[in-house]
Amino acid sequence: LEKQQKQQREEEKDPLTVELHHQQQYLDHWLLRLRHHLDNRRYLWQLPWYMVIGPAGSGKSTLLREGFPSDIIYMP
């Protein structure tokens, strides 16, 4: 109960805290689902695996960085 009261007081001070809390809950939910999925020992053989090879400067790191942007926030 104290934790909820403290959280409510913080939310009153900063409305952005509410949005951050919702995003954290959303991420926690999907992390839990991912952990549940990865708990299966066969997952290593079920997932697609790729090897990217090429000379230095050919764009391997750029492919990974630009192909899977990690800075996009999903809004449900």
- The pLDDT tens digits for 25-39 are 999 998 888 877 777
* pLDDT reported for residue 26: 92
Which residues lie below 8 Å from residue 74, measured CB to CB, with a gap of 6+? 26
* pLDDT reported for residue 33: 83
Start-to-end Cα distance in the chain: 28
Predicted TM-score (pTM) of the model is 0.39
Each residue's pLDDT tens digit in the chain (76 positions)?
888 888 777 777 777 877 888 899 999 998 888 877 777 666 666 666 778 889 999 998 888 878 766 656 555 4
Q: Where are the domains of the chain?
A: 2-67
